[in-house]
Amino acid sequence: MIKYLGSKRTLVPRLVALADAVREQSGAHTVADVFTGTTRVAQALKRRGFAVTANDLASYSEVLATCYIAMDGNDASAVRAIADKLQYLDALPGRDGYVTRTFCEEARYFQPFNGRRIDAIRDALDGVAEGATERAVLLTALLLAADRVDSTTGLQMAYLKGWAPRSHQTMQLRMPELIAGTGTVFREDANVLAAQLAPVDIAYLDPPYNQHSYFSNYHVWETIVRHDAPESYGVARKRVDCRTTKSAYNVRARAWTAFSELVRSLPARYCLVSFSNEGYFHYDDIVSLLASSHGEVAAMPVAFRRYVGAKIGIHNRRGEKVGTVSHLTNREFLFVAGPEAGAIVERAERGLRAEEPNAP
Ligand SMILES: C[S@@+](CC[C@H](N)C(=O)[O-])C[C@H]1O[C@@H](n2cnc3c(N)ncnc32)[C@H](O)[C@@H]1O
């Protein structure tokens, strides 16, 4: 999985437990992950047997979704053909190109010897790929391989001053972990998608929650996928269209209107919403919105961050430990909206407790 801000690695078990609980309560089967990003959540739901639709604005996300959600990992002959092509691409000698020049010399995201390999593989990839799905699996393998040898902290707004230890390794293409079955993929503005989407049982909403644009933060992936050699600017060598490509969800004055319209227009019986109290939206506003669109609303706390005092213990002025801390701060929640939402959260929490008895 590529390094990605806001990727729902830690939330996935909770989201899956909630989706399972909705299924047990209401027979739900179809899910749309409307801001799918890395597709981590969509993948987990597909593995769990849901019929999944994955959507995001980013080209790299469409590629990941086509690989993990649309591609049928059980299609043995297709997988064999891809394996052969990966072997061929991985053996290509490196050659100087846009990635080497822009991302390894003008900037330092990858060591030039790996940059040359990215250039050679990307230049050859469209020529060897048969069809959009095969191309997406090959591109996913390239993104994952490049991510394993990059020299960033996980954002492409900057790169490390000194080379990251992993960047010295030779990049290697590997087959992504494909999933059995197929699903549906879109690359649409979420609000446009809402008007076109066939009705689903569950919609999962995880929009950007502040001004930081994913398009800018992951511009290197966007450029490798598009293969369009754009003009670039600044120390980070961002694509020039980072200046003009803005999501409504990254603009405080527009985000709430966009989100409320989305919630009201999505054809979904249930809505699952990721919420952080560090973003633009307010807890109470989300509850009112979801209550007006879907009826019952319940919240599951998902990230417990202890107060700083709890991390270091409570100490008196002389530095002596004087007590233990009992309260926790909740910063992140998963909202469930739809019939019997409260019972669904209880059912999901029971399931989680059975699976991880030592959870907080
Ligand atoms: C918080 S991230 C989602 C992370 C995802 N749940 C994961 O686990 O990887 C938000 C995503 O919304 C996408 N996005 C931003 N504006 C969008 C819009 N208007 N429509 C659809 N996707 C959008 C971004 O590209 C980004 O991938």
C-alpha 37 – ligand 1 centre gap (Å): 5
Q: How confident is the model at residue 307 (pLDDT cuts 50, 70, 90)?
A: very low
**Does the structure show a pLDDT above 80 at 303?**
no
3-class DSSP state for residue 143? helix
Residue 316 has pLDDT above 90, yes or no: no
8 Å CB contact between 94 and 51: no
The mean pLDDT of 205-214, rounded to a whole number, is 92
What's the pLDDT score for residue 82? 98
Assess contact for 171 and 150: CB atoms under 8 A.
no
**pLDDT of residue 94 exceeding 80:** yes
Phi, psi of 179 (to 5 degrees): -120, 140
Cα–Cα distance measured from residue 14 to residue 35, given in angstroms and rounded to the nearest whole number: 17
Q: Which fold has domain 12-304+331-355?
A: Rossmann fold (3.40.50)
Q: How confident is the model at residue 309 (pLDDT cuts 50, 70, 90)?
A: very low
Distance of CA 13 to the CA centre of its chain: 15
List the structure tokens of 52: 């999944």
What ranges in the chain are assigned the alpha helix state H? 12-26, 40-47, 59-65, 76-90, 98-99, 112-128, 131-148, 190-196, 214-217, 219-226, 252-265, 283-294, 308-312, 341-355
- As a whole number of angstroms, the distance between CA 21 and CA 224 comes to 39
Asked if the model's pLDDT at residue 343 lies above 80, the reply is yes
Q: Tell me: pLDDT of 321 over 90.
A: no
Query: Span 306-334, mean pLDDT?
Result: 53
Query: Over 50: is that where the pLDDT of 117 sits?
Result: yes
Q: What pLDDT is stored for residue 354 in this prediction?
A: 86
- Report whether residue 4 contacts ligand 1, using a CB cutoff of 6 Å: yes
Which residue ranges make up each domain of the chain? 12-304+331-355
Please give the average per-residue pLDDT across 83-100, as a whole number: 98
Distance CA 39, CA 18 (A): 17
Per-residue pLDDT at 151: 95
Residue 15: its pLDDT value, please?
Answer: 95
3: confidence class by pLDDT, cuts 50, 70, 90: confident
Q: Tell me the best of 14, 57, 210, 276 to mutate to test the pocket of ligand 1, counting ligand atoms within 8 Å of each CB and taking the most.
A: 57
- Is pLDDT of 317 > 90? no
Encoding tokens for residue 282? 């307010």
pLDDT tens-digit profile of 237-259? Answer: 999 999 999 899 999 999 999 99
Confirm or reject: Cβ of 35 under 6 Å from ligand 1.
yes
Q: Is 206 in the pocket of ligand 1 (CB under 6 A)?
A: yes
- For residue 349, the one-letter residue type is E
Say yes or no to pLDDT of 95 above 90: yes
Contact 141, 102 (CB under 8 A): no
Nearest ligand 1 atom, CA 56? 22
- With a cut of 70, say whether residue 14 has pLDDT above it: yes
Distance separating alpha carbons of residues 181 and 327, to the nearest angstrom: 44
Distance CA 352, CA 14 (A): 7
pTM: 0.92
Tell me, what amino acid is at 247? S
Nearest Cα residue to atom 22 of ligand 1: 56
Residue 61 Cβ inside 6 Å of ligand 1? The answer reads yes
pLDDT in tens, 244-298: 998 999 999 999 999 999 999 999 999 999 998 889 999 999 999 999 999 999 9
Any atom of ligand 1 within 6 Å of the Cβ of 8: yes
In this structure, are strands 328-337 and 268-276 parallel, antiparallel, or unpaired?
A: antiparallel
The residue to mutate among 39, 53, 56, having the most atoms of ligand 1 within 8 angstroms of its beta carbon, is 56
Mean pLDDT score of the chain? 91
CA–CA separation, 33 and 56 (whole Å): 9
The pLDDT of residue 212 is 87
Least confident of 70-79, 117-126, 321-330: 321-330
Q: What is the pLDDT of residue 324?
A: 47
- pLDDT at position 315: 44
Mutating to test ligand 1, I would choose from 35, 64, 218 the residue with most ligand atoms within 8 A of its C-beta, which is 35
Tokens read off for 42? 């969509």
The sign of the CA dihedral 341, 343, 349, 352 is negative
- 89: left (phi > 0), else alpha (psi -120 to 50), else beta? alpha
